[in-house]
């Protein structure tokens, strides 16, 4: 058996940019898989997708403080860098570089200091009153779905992904469709800002029972994990109803919300939206995506299912 491929670990952004430019000068193409670490099979499926598309693969591991508000779970976000490296080494072909910067912003580490305060459009970075002042916004696509309850989230995502694109300079970037709104926002950002990057959406990976894989699943108790299966179960029920002729979105939403409530979950949103514009629809007449965010205990989970008729 061939030895596992150990990636080069780069922590400095100038060194990362130098590596990418050297590889591109040799005619090599590069894929980037942005992650916040604590990798699972869903992340590894993105790496396998990236290996099919380019000569080289870079995985970034960086917990982005710009997408968290002061009341969210930045300080408790799980991490296991050594474990992440072992998992990446298990992927056939491996990973060429792991980009693991300490900080991509001109500010202090937001994991330290006060966690209080905040509100409105205040992120962890702004709470400190230092450094970073420039944000990237995809204004229309970020407003609905997760943007309603997490107002700083998508500008933080778009900003850090822009920074990663400028540092790594990839030809391809791979994102998971579990974060459907995020994927569409990055696609639109690339289009609007003329990044020469192909953005690929990779299908959702689930455990054997159907729960969408997420780094936050580690915070679910065994009982909460069992109850959370109501999300994927209700989405499949909705899709089956559409296939039988049901096109009324209100009735489909009621079906899903009731199923999750019966399991003990608290629904943040359950919306049926156009797959590209993410605008809510009343009847299904074209391809849509049914998106859900729900709380089980202290854990907020998201999931979705694409529906075509």
Q: Cα dihedral sign for 45, 186, 281, 150? A: positive
Spatial distance between the Cα atoms of 171 and 178, rounded to a whole number of angstroms: 22
Count of CB atoms situated within 10 Å of the CB of 240: 10
Spatial distance between the Cα atoms of 226 and 263, rounded to a whole number of angstroms: 9
Phi, then psi, of 206 in degrees rounded to 5: -130, 160
Rg (CA), the chain: 20
CB 99 within 8 A of CB 60: yes
Q: Per the residue annotation, which of 43, 82, 219, 261 is the catalytic one?
A: 43
Determine whether 40 is an active site residue. no
CA nearest to 221, candidates 285, 297, 283, 157? 297
Spatial distance between the Cα atoms of 114 and 217, rounded to a whole number of angstroms: 26
Q: Would you state the structure tokens that stand for residue 298, as one six-digit string?
A: 């202290």
CA nearest to 165, candidates 19, 12, 33? 33
Where would I find the H helices in 177-288?
180-193, 222-243, 249-262
Spatial distance between the Cα atoms of 198 and 21, rounded to a whole number of angstroms: 18
Scanning the structure block, which residue is given the tokens 């949103």?
A: 269
Q: Active-site residue numbers?
A: 43
């Amino acid at each position: 058996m061939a030895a596992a491929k150990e990636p080069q670990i780069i922590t400095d952004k100038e060194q990362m940019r130098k590596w990418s430019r050297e590889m591109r000068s040799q005619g090599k193409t590069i894929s980037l898989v942005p992650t916040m670490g604590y990798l699972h099979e869903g992340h590894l499926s993105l790496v396998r997708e990236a290996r099919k598309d380019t000569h080289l693969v870079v995985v970034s591991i960086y917990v982005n403080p710009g997408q968290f508000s002061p009341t969210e779970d930045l300080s408790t976000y799980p991490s296991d860098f050594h474990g992440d490296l072992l998992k990446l080494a298990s992927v056939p072909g491996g990973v060429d570089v792991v980009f693991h910067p300490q900080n991509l912003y001109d500010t202090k580490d937001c994991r330290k200091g006060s966690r209080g305060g905040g509100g409105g459009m205040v992120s962890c970075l702004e709470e400190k009153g230092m450094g970073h002042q420039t944000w990237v916004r995809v204004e229309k696509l970020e407003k609905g779905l997760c943007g309603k309850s997490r107002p700083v989230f998508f500008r933080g995502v778009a900003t850090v992904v822009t920074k990663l694109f400028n540092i790594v300079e990839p030809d391809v970037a791979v994102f998971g469709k579990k974060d459907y709104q995020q994927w569409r926002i990055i696609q639109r950002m690339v289009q609007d800002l003329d990044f020469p990057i192909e953005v690929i959406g990779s299908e959702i990976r689930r455990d054997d029972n159907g729960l969408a894989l997420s780094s936050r699943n580690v915070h679910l108790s065994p009982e909460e994990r069992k109850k959370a299966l109501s999300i994927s179960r209700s989405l499949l029920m909705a899709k089956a109803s559409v296939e039988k002729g049901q096109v009324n979105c209100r009735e489909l939403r009621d079906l899903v919300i009731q199923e999750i409530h019966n399991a003990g979950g608290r629904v943040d949103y359950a919306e049926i939206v156009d797959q590209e514009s993410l605008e809510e629809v009343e009847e299904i007449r074209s391809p849509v995506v049914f998106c859900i965010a729900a709380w089980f205990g202290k854990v907020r989970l998201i999931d979705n299912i694409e529906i075509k008729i």
